Structure 1
Amino acid sequence: MPVDPERRRAARHAQPAVSPERQPRRKPPITVTRITDAALEVVATQGYDALTMRSVAAVLDTGPASLYAHVVNKADIDELIIGRLCSQLVLPEPDPATWRAQILDVCAQIRDQYLRYPGVSRAALAMVATNLDVLRVNEGMLAILLAGGIEPQTAAWAIDALALYVSAYALESSLVAQRQSHQGDEWVVGRDELVSRFAALPADRFPQIRRYAAELTSGTGHERFDFTLGTIVDNLTRRRPAAEAAVGSK
């Protein structure tokens, strides 16, 4: 015998409603975006060394196995986080008149993104660029150098050299900061102490280091960063194309 719809509706309405406090909370679904967010949170708060599938899963309040439906492995997460940082960069319209300042600004932006996440540049050092956001930056840097009249082969290798130095600089900065956070670490010394140690070296074996101790220890990290990148960029226009160099060597 079919149930009267009116009775069915009445019975449903008669059931006690579950209060909002007692309703089970549904976890938001795991997505690539949330995995990337969680990975960056781990790096920002604990450093890159702490980044594992398990630590990312812990931030998401799930198990590592649930991540594999969205990412392949830890290397995949590395690519995602570097891609995310690259997506934050502002790339200028290449200008032949200001190409030098433009390329240096892009490098400084990359540096600053890496410094926000201690040790994250290690992921960039070990990565072959296939992520579209990373390739967008490479495309932009290449366009800037070509607009400045840099020969294509030189421009291609310059991008690699610049990226390598920026990553190494950021990694060194994170390692220094990590050591400085450990009070009493004898490997961390100030400039005055370093000058004193250099001055105490045997004069017959280290005359130049003793004499130029002040110069060797001068400058902030960012000043040295600007010097190195400026030196690289200023020499790009002085390089002869590879074909001309080969002819000249014969």
Structure 2
Amino acid sequence: MNPRDRRAARHQPSEPGGTDPAPRRRALPITVEQVVDTALGLVAADGYEALTMRRVAAALDTGPASLYAHVVNKADLDELLIGRLCAEIALPEPAPDAWRDQLRDVCAQLRDQYLKYPGLSRAALAAAPTDRQVARVGEGLLALALAGGASPQDAAWAVDALVLYVAAYCLERSIAQRKAVHEDAAWVLDREELRRRLTALPAADFPHTTRHAAELTGGAGHDRFDFTITLLINGLGHR
């Protein structure tokens, strides 16, 4: 079975009894799981931008051609990585009286998984949600939104907005942290410096920005994340 067929088989349901309808042949001494483990290790150490098929192959002490016996291409590897992260997400049984808190919790879990691997959420922004674990999380989020009484259309678009925001939030944090590594960009994460720059703007031209610089730069930890997720979820509830 060629790699593309194996990729398609990953999206098919298992046969009764838990057997894979298309079992893999281990023609090489490496497995898909080892490829994913190695790739995640590289991302955790050096960030997603440093991830290449060649680097994964080198870490496995093999050549890039060997990887293609297990993974179709870089896009396929990205899908596998996001799927591995989604496999760690615990989905609750939807409760009509607690669906908002449940949605927030799932979004926070996804955020924490992304932040373990700097920049990996970039792959999620461009990936089609066909991986079974990714689809499982999407199904869980949709069930929670529907449990809150949202129409199917509102629920579907709200879930899309939530997932996009989580990925974008994590990507922004990883980019800012990478920039802060360089001495000339350390001010990026310095709230006091950013506030000083905002208040130094001409008040006549920027009256609101200068007056509310503290609010614009406020928040600690994941305060902004919690605010935005809650805003989206509450908006869905009001509809």
Report the TM-score, using the length of structure 1 for normalisation. Answer: 0.82
Over aligned residue pairs, what C-alpha RMSD do you find? 1.2
CA displacement 1:106-131 (0-9 Å, x = unmatched): 00000000000000000100101000
Which residue matches 1:90? 90
Q: Post-superposition shift, 1:238?
A: 2.0
SS in 2 for 1:92: coil
Which residue matches 2:58? 58
Preserved contact between residue 187 and residue 193 of structure 2 (Cα < 8 Å): no
CA displacement 1:54-75 (0-9 Å, x = unmatched): 0110111100000111111000
Does 181-190 or 143-152 show the bigger shift? Answer: 181-190
Aligned residue pairs total 212
Which residue matches 2:101? 101
Q: Distance in 1 between matches of 2:186 and 2:78?
A: 32
SS in 2 for 1:102: helix
Does 191-200 or 92-101 show the bigger shift? Answer: 191-200
Q: Post-superposition shift, 1:192?
A: 1.5
Preserved contact between residue 54 and residue 63 of structure 2 (Cα < 8 Å): yes
Which residue matches 1:142? 142
SS in 1 for 2:185: coil
SS in 1 for 2:238: coil
**Bigger Cα Rg:** 1
Which residue matches 2:21? none
Q: Distance in 2 between matches of 1:187 and 1:211?
A: 21
CA displacement 1:88-145 (0-9 Å, x = unmatched): 0100011111000000000000000000000000010010100000000001111111
Q: Which segments of 5 or more consecutive residues in structure 1 lack a partner in the other structure?
A: 1-27, 240-250
Which residue matches 1:234? 234
Q: Post-superposition shift, 1:167?
A: 0.2
Q: Distance in 2 between matches of 1:122 and 1:199?
A: 33
Q: Distance in 2 between matches of 1:237 and 1:101?
A: 12
Q: Post-superposition shift, 1:146?
A: 0.8
Residue type of the alignment partner of 2:152: P
CA displacement 1:174-207 (0-9 Å, x = unmatched): 0111112222326525111222211211121011
Residue type of the alignment partner of 1:118: P
Q: Distance in 2 between matches of 1:164 and 1:49?
A: 19
Q: Distance in 1 between matches of 2:228 and 2:172?
A: 15
SS in 1 for 2:222: helix
Preserved contact between residue 180 and residue 186 of structure 2 (Cα < 8 Å): no
Q: Distance in 1 between matches of 2:208 and 2:96?
A: 41
Residue type of the alignment partner of 2:190: G
Does 182-191 or 218-227 show the bigger shift? Answer: 182-191
The residue correspondences of 1:1-250 to structure 2 (distance < 5 A) are 29-185=29-185, 188=188, 190-239=190-239
SS in 2 for 1:188: helix
